Amino acid sequence: MYPNDRVATFVTENFVPVKIHIKEQPEVFRRFGAQWTPTLMVLDPDGVERHRFEGFLPPTDFLAQLELGLAKAAFARERWREAEDRYRRIAREFPDTDAAPEALYWAGVSRYKASGDAAALADTARAFRTRYSGTSWAKRASVWGR
Amino acid sequence: MPINWMKDVDAALAEAKRTGRAVLADFNAAPM
């Protein structure tokens, strides 16, 4: 059940949504390696898994994870500018979610991939000094700031 | 706004390929 209107609208506008129930389709659980419920999985248009998350999340965090899945799908297809836009939107619109620091990291990588300019990575390292500085993503980005 | 959930993952994948959209697969154990 997805009672939140914002979530329902976002799912409808951005995905082909499919529900798989463990009792009705256990073989599909096995096929995709889903071992817990709920497991939400984003598959790109070629059917490749690009993101998954398990367990309940409130609407804001849930939306952030869906956006993260779309951003990862764009990145995997080397659509760097689309990926960067999506990642930056996550950091901007969902700043208090777990997805935000990860999105900030990959936004910098996406910009670097698009431009070839290492300044994009240094800028990201600098951004982490003031936001999300205690996160593992800040640690990963720290090497770019030396 | 109700979500129009499919139940067939292969049909969903075919639709995704046709439309260029990603699939959101919800693996659940909700009461039936």
Residue A2 above 80 pLDDT? no
Residue of B nearest to A34 (CA): B27
Residue of A nearest to B13 (CA): A47
- Using one digit for the tens of pLDDT, what is the confidence trace for A111-120? 999 999 999 9
Residue A127 above 90 pLDDT? yes
Of A20, A50, A70, the CB nearest to B27: A20
Neighbours of A40 (CB within 10 A): 21
The DSSP string of A111-146 is: HHHHH--THHHHHHHHHHHHSSTTSHHHHHHHGGG-
- Using one digit for the tens of pLDDT, what is the confidence trace for A40-68? 999 999 999 999 999 999 999 999 999 99
Residue B30 above 80 pLDDT? yes
What does pTM read for this prediction? 0.95
* Inter-residue contact A74 to A90 (CB < 8 Å): no
Mean pLDDT of chain A: 96
How many interface pairs between A and B have CB atoms less than 8 angstroms apart? 126
A47 and B23 in contact by Cβ < 8 A?
A: yes
The DSSP string of A30-59 is: HHHT--SSSEEEEE-TTS-EEEEEES---H
Q: Which residues pair with A117 in a beta bridge?
A: none
Tell me which chain B residues have a C-beta less than 8 angstroms from the C-beta of A47: 13, 16-17, 23
Residue A97 above 70 pLDDT? yes
Tell me the CATH number of domain A5-145, given options 1.10.40.30, 3.40.309.10, 1.25.40.10, 1.10.486.10: 1.25.40.10
Percent of chain A with pLDDT over 70: 99
Q: A interface mutation test: which of B5, B6, B10, B23 has the most A CBs within 10 A?
A: B23
Neighbours of A8 (CB within 10 A): 17
Percent of chain A with pLDDT over 90: 97
Domain ranges of chain A: 5-145
> What would the mean pLDDT of A73-89 be, rounded to a whole number?
98
pLDDT at position A26: 97
C-alpha pair distances (Å), A39 with each of A10, A21, A84, B16, B21: 18, 11, 26, 19, 19
A18 and B12 in contact by Cβ < 8 A?
A: yes
pLDDT at position A1: 53
- Is B14 an 8 Å CB contact of chain A? no
